[in-house]
Amino acid sequence: MSSPGDILDLISRGDAATRADLARVTGMARSTVAQRVDTLIAYGLVEERETGASTGGRPPRVLRLATERNCVVGVDLGATHCRVALMDIGGTLLADREDPLRITEGPEAVLRHIDERMHELLAQAGRPLAAVKAIGIGVPGPVEFATGRPVNPPIMPGWHEFPIPDYFTSRYDLEVLVDNDVNALALGEVRHGSTAADNLLFVKVGTGIGCGIIAGGRLHRGAQGAAGDIGHIRVPGADTAACRCGNTGCLEAVAGGAALAARLAEAGVPAADGRAVVDLVSSGDPLAVRLVREAGRDIGDVLAGLVNFFNPEAIVVGGVMAAAHEHLLAGVREVIYQRSLPLATHRLTVVPTEAGEAGGALGAGRLAIDHILDPRNIDRALAAHAAGAAPAAR
Amino acid sequence: MSSPGDILDLISRGDAATRADLARVTGMARSTVAQRVDTLIAYGLVEERETGASTGGRPPRVLRLATERNCVVGVDLGATHCRVALMDIGGTLLADREDPLRITEGPEAVLRHIDERMHELLAQAGRPLAAVKAIGIGVPGPVEFATGRPVNPPIMPGWHEFPIPDYFTSRYDLEVLVDNDVNALALGEVRHGSTAADNLLFVKVGTGIGCGIIAGGRLHRGAQGAAGDIGHIRVPGADTAACRCGNTGCLEAVAGGAALAARLAEAGVPAADGRAVVDLVSSGDPLAVRLVREAGRDIGDVLAGLVNFFNPEAIVVGGVMAAAHEHLLAGVREVIYQRSLPLATHRLTVVPTEAGEAGGALGAGRLAIDHILDPRNIDRALAAHAAGAAPAAR
């Protein structure tokens, strides 16, 4: 405690704006505070400026995060798109861009694309490459968070165990965090959306179905980082649909965008994927509307159990299928309120995402910011810096 | 930070044993450390003793929790029993006792019983009443944790919204924490059992079925404190059993001890309750064995979904029915390993509880200890103490 990392934490949260504040809040000697602050300034994370307003004598000097010199990049990788966002370390979006990109093109091509976009956005925002301290990347598949390697990701052929961070850390002096896209979306929702909740589920309904979990204000990844994989929970009373995982009755096989598209195609209504289903719903196709509403009920049946188990304040629904949210959420709400316990639902909100298309990239950027500003990581980086070594590449 | 509460935290975790340690670890001036330590000593939570071993000069003085002068009481209330445990603030059990007691006798009679037992245990252990700083109570029903009031507890008639803490705080100068019994069991398991896990589910299978959740090392209570109520999750493919909650197919109505007893009775095998079912299993009754094994599969069907969602390291099964754990756990494991995703199960352990009968009371005591030693609560109590007021009753 009261390490340089803790001092930075107080400054970035706005709990202390001057050296005198820090001495008062921490109870540390003025000389110790000065030493810690000077270290952070030398390292470039904090800057000290004279304020215009003086009350006579020497004008007070105010400490703040050095947002000009410290940025992060947030990346949202989908099956067929890539969004890259440049943010400063205070969380302000500086520039972003989305392109169509097939994740099946493989790690080298996709990571090169991210690399190029990063340079373009930096040029656009007028920031040097050295300002980028970390990159956060959300990918559409399971990831071992500690190493940044995808683990048997079903829709990412060629990515299994690929060490994503190495691509960047071998080229640049920065850190790389890789996480499942729904975790980035959940984090983006609580930090950038209007849903302030300590216990929140972000349910992404796209081709598949996944869930990001905020428990007690923090991302819950579980023991192996596999938490939130709700697409293969068995839907009560839906045992016939075969799933690509080998089981039957999985939520994804019953209510995912791909499953709905297949069912429409079987009925003679051409639909290639979830987006096509949403288009049919928008145009008022009665079968598509009915299937989406039924899918909502099936999702609601699984979520009703999770509401009893987890007791969240909010469920936020995103992903491609959320564009048909009137019908989807109607089904979800219907079953949750019918099946969950009254104590767990009487203040529960079930809403479509507000962060929208940009949510995943902003959440991934937030993952990078939280990592850089974590007091333990600051102290580790400073120790390496002091020892004359380059900051460790995680 | 670096408040008296933080100082106590360092001492109780063993991170600092002397004033010199504290100055080094916190970076605070020696005079500030001395002031904080003296406050804690004056308040009675810390004591300083000379060690025998001297290296010449003044012998070093060591700081430790004042366990002689600070105790807690942990209480486990069941439908038909009451166990009271006296522990010191370091977590050592000093004395305990269990009695048959019907919770339906109502709050006044039950709380009077706890009060009397507390005095008996104190006399037995030779500690004064003033040493008791807090009481933790686990009750078999939903509780609003912040106020300590049960909320429509189905098997506790007369307890709805009864302010349990007031009974004790109006008589004594101590704090009272009331929680659902499964939360106390989960806490008891990670602190007193051999299952060291940051993400753990404690599943209590008795008359009903409930679950205590440890997420990231902390109790997860959810938005309204209702988390873990898995007894009313719908079991896939079991839609006919009517539940007392008004729905059908609830886990409790299919696999709870009362449901199994009723099904045995219907088949002409007399069984009054879950304990009778366990006795029949012990005596090798084939129908009882079959029903318990099926119940295990139904519980496994619900837990399989929760394993995908939560990705725990361990599932611990307790409660009356866990006495038939060979058959119960065989069914649970069978379905979890069949239905959950490989990444989430390959290191998952599913085990019967080790803490045994005493687990609930020890866990409730741990709830009280954690509250007393929480740095924020220490600082609040000291502030009240300094202002000349009696410590606030939560």
Min Cα–Cα distance to chain B from A358, Å: 25
Place of tokens 């289903």: A277
Gyration radius of chain A over CA positions = 23
Q: Which of A29, A197, A230 is nearest residue B308 as measured by Cβ atoms?
A: A230
CA A114 to each of CA A83, A95, B222: distance values in angstroms, whole numbers, following the listed order = 9, 14, 38
pLDDT attached to residue B55: 64
* Mean per-residue pLDDT, A267-284: 92
Min Cα–Cα distance to chain A from B209, Å: 12
Which residues in chain A (40-99) have CB-CB distances under 8 A to chain B?
A: none
Would the CB atoms of A27 and B28 count as touching at under 8 Å?
A: yes
Read off φ and ψ for residue B245, nearest 5 degrees: -80, -10
- Establish, for the pair of chains A and B, how many residue pairs have beta carbons separated by less than 8 Å: 194
CB-CB neighbors (< 8 A) of A245 in chain B: 341
CA B261 to each of CA B283, B327, B365: distance values in angstroms, whole numbers, following the listed order = 15, 16, 33
Q: Establish if B179 touches chain A: CB-CB under 8 angstroms.
A: no
- What are the E-state strand segments in B186-278? 200-205, 209-215, 218-219
pLDDT attached to residue B221: 94
Q: Which of B213, B226, B344 is nearest residue A226 as measured by Cβ atoms?
A: B344
* Mean per-residue pLDDT, A234-252: 84
Length of chain A: 394
Rounded to whole angstroms, the Cα distance separating B74 from B369 reads: 9
Which of A136-140, B92-96, B142-146, B212-216 shows the lowest per-residue confidence on average (mean pLDDT)? B142-146
Percent over 90 (pLDDT), chain A: 60
Provide the CA A367 distance to its chain's centre, in angstroms.
6
Quick one: CA dihedral B101, B103, B107, B109, positive or negative? Answer: negative
- pLDDT band at residue B394 using 50, 70 and 90 as cut-offs: very low
pLDDT attached to residue A387: 63
Rounded to whole angstroms, the Cα distance separating B121 from A148 reads: 54
Domains of chain B: 4-65 (1.10.10.10), 71-185+358-386 (3.30.420.40), 195-354 (3.30.420.40)
- pLDDT band at residue B70 using 50, 70 and 90 as cut-offs: very high
pLDDT attached to residue B388: 55
* Mean per-residue pLDDT, A255-272: 92
- What are the E-state strand segments in B182-298? 200-205, 209-215, 218-219
Q: Establish if A227 touches chain B: CB-CB under 8 angstroms.
A: yes
Which residues in chain A (285-314) have CB-CB distances under 8 A to chain B?
A: 301-302, 304-306, 308-313
Min Cα–Cα distance to chain B from A322, Å: 20
pLDDT digits (tens, 9 = 90+) for A55-109: 666 777 899 999 999 999 999 998 889 999 999 999 999 999 999 999 999 999 9
What does B42-111 look like in DSSP terms, one character per residue? Answer: HHTSEEEEE-S--SSSSPPEEEEE-TTT-EEEEEEE-SSEEEEEEEETTS-EEEEEEEE--GGG-HHHHH
pLDDT digits (tens, 9 = 90+) for B326-382: 899 999 999 999 988 888 888 899 999 987 778 899 999 999 999 998 878 887 777
Q: What is the DSSP letter of B200?
A: E
Would the CB atoms of B311 and A3 count as touching at under 8 Å?
A: no
Neighbouring C-beta atoms of residue B389, cutoff 10 Å:
9
CA B56 to each of CA B20, B50, B53, B60, B61: distance values in angstroms, whole numbers, following the listed order = 17, 13, 9, 10, 13
Would the CB atoms of A233 and B305 count as touching at under 8 Å?
A: yes
Rounded to whole angstroms, the Cα distance separating A250 from A252 reads: 5
Tell me the average pLDDT of chain B. 89
Rounded to whole angstroms, the Cα distance separating B242 from B257 reads: 15
Q: Establish if A366 touches chain B: CB-CB under 8 angstroms.
A: no
User: Both tokens of residue B134?
Assistant: 């807090």
* Mean per-residue pLDDT, A110-137: 97
- pLDDT band at residue B152 using 50, 70 and 90 as cut-offs: confident
pLDDT digits (tens, 9 = 90+) for A294-336: 999 999 999 999 999 999 999 999 988 888 888 999 999 999 9
pLDDT digits (tens, 9 = 90+) for A23-41: 888 878 888 888 888 888 9
pLDDT attached to residue A385: 67
Q: Which of B25, B216, B235 is nearest residue A220 as measured by Cβ atoms?
A: B216
Q: Which residues pair with B136 in a beta bridge?
A: B74, B177
Q: Establish if B25 touches chain A: CB-CB under 8 angstroms.
A: yes
- pLDDT band at residue A391 using 50, 70 and 90 as cut-offs: very low
Q: Scanning every residue of chain B, which has its alpha carbon at the shortest distance from the alpha carbon of A306? A: B306
CB-CB neighbors (< 8 A) of B343 in chain A: 142, 151-152, 224, 226, 229
Q: Scanning every residue of chain B, which has its alpha carbon at the shortest distance from the alpha carbon of A315? A: B223
Rounded to whole angstroms, the Cα distance separating A52 from A202 reads: 44
Q: Scanning every residue of chain B, which has its alpha carbon at the shortest distance from the alpha carbon of A212? A: B309
* Mean per-residue pLDDT, A339-356: 87
pLDDT digits (tens, 9 = 90+) for A170-214: 999 999 999 999 999 999 888 877 777 899 999 999 888 999 999
CB-CB neighbors (< 8 A) of A3 in chain B: 27
Would the CB atoms of B233 and A308 count as touching at under 8 Å?
A: yes
Q: What are the respective helix, strand and coil percentages of chain A, to the nearest 5?
A: 45, 20, 35
Neighbouring C-beta atoms of residue B307, cutoff 10 Å:
28
Residue B163 scores a pLDDT above 60: yes
Q: Establish if B244 touches chain A: CB-CB under 8 angstroms.
A: no
Q: What are the respective helix, strand and coil percentages of chain B, to the nearest 5?
A: 45, 20, 35
